[in-house]
Chains A and B, each alone.
Chain A
Amino acid sequence: LAKTTQPISMDSYEGQEVNITCSHNNIATNDYITWYQQFPSQGPRFIIQGYKTKVTNEVASLFIPADRKSSTLSLPRVSLSDTAVYYCLVGDGFSGGYNKLIFGAGTRLAVHP
């Protein structure tokens, strides 16, 4: 199992860039890195997924160094509505089994006015 470690909580202000780093030292060759966002009283929502280098979509960017032992989710210019819990998952559910994709405690991001 690729264990992940991410900060329990973070605080930011509107308009700032937020970077949440996840450590996954024992990531396997076939593992992907996936980030989900969860608002209170809702199910988790997919944000972004990557394997190496950098991935960008309309919501966020994901930076993965060459050794893939960590990854950083970058949220540009956050707003109050970005207040949520962010989960980093590492694994290959499709081939390795979804039971090995662990959500963990996540990072609770609070965005302040």
Chain B
Amino acid sequence: DAGVIQSPRHEVTEMGQEVTLRCKPISGHDYLFWYRQTMMRGLELLIYFNNNVPIDDSGMPEDRFSAKMPNASFSTLKIQPSEPRDSAVYFCASSSLETQYFGPGTRLLVL
């Protein structure tokens, strides 16, 4: 298996623009997670899905963030409008039980 796939790997955008991050989980995994990592706050869980259904989105910072999982093999995290404080590395992870498998991350820079 190729592991968790994320795209793009790097994104530079200007404040106010819409940003869409994409994730393809490991086939057969029924949990999908979106995390954000910064130096100040560490690794934070934003939202997670089970069988394509959002289970907990209490970590989503505000209404500018939204996540979808239209099918078992694809998820998106959208930020609209983006702000400089959204600059971070965003990780997607998937699991079937306790062990989470992380993707390589998307490094987002909002200018």
Residues of B within 8 A of A106 (CB): 42
Given A99-B48, A99-B59, also A46-B100 (CB < 8 A): yes
Task: Verify A98–B33 contact, CB threshold 8 A.
Answer: yes
Least CB separation from B92: chain A residue:
A43
**Mask: chain A, 40-56; 1 = CB below 8 Å from B; 0 = not:** 01111110010000000
Q: Give, as a whole number of angstroms, the nearest-CB distance from A59 to chain B.
A: 13
Residues of B within 8 A of A101 (CB): 45
Contacting B42 at CB < 8 Å: which of A49, A92, A98, A103? Answer: A103
Residues of B within 8 A of A98 (CB): 31, 33, 45, 48, 55-56, 100
Interface size on A, residues (CB 8 A): 22
Residues of A within 8 A of B2 (CB): none
Given A97-B56, A98-B33, A99-B45, also A43-B98 (CB < 8 A): no
Residues of B within 8 A of A43 (CB): 4, 91, 93, 102-105
A48 vs B93: C-alpha distance when bound (angstroms): 17
Residues of A within 8 A of B104 (CB): 42-43
Least CB separation from B93: chain A residue:
A43
Interface residues of A in 93-111 (CB under 8 A from B): 93-94, 97-99, 101, 103-106
A91 vs B95: C-alpha distance when bound (angstroms): 15
- B74 within 8 Å of A (CB atoms): no
Task: Verify A46–B59 contact, CB threshold 8 A.
Answer: no
Interface residues of A in 4-33 (CB under 8 A from B): 32
**Mask: chain B, 100-111; 1 = CB below 8 Å from A; 0 = not:** 111111000000
Given A99-B45, A103-B43, also A44-B102 (CB < 8 A): yes
Using a CB–CB distance below 8 Å, which chain A residues touch chain B? 32, 34, 36, 41-46, 49, 87, 92-94, 97-99, 101, 103-106
Using a CB–CB distance below 8 Å, which chain B residues touch chain A? 4, 31, 33, 42-43, 45, 48, 55-56, 58-59, 91, 93, 95, 97-105
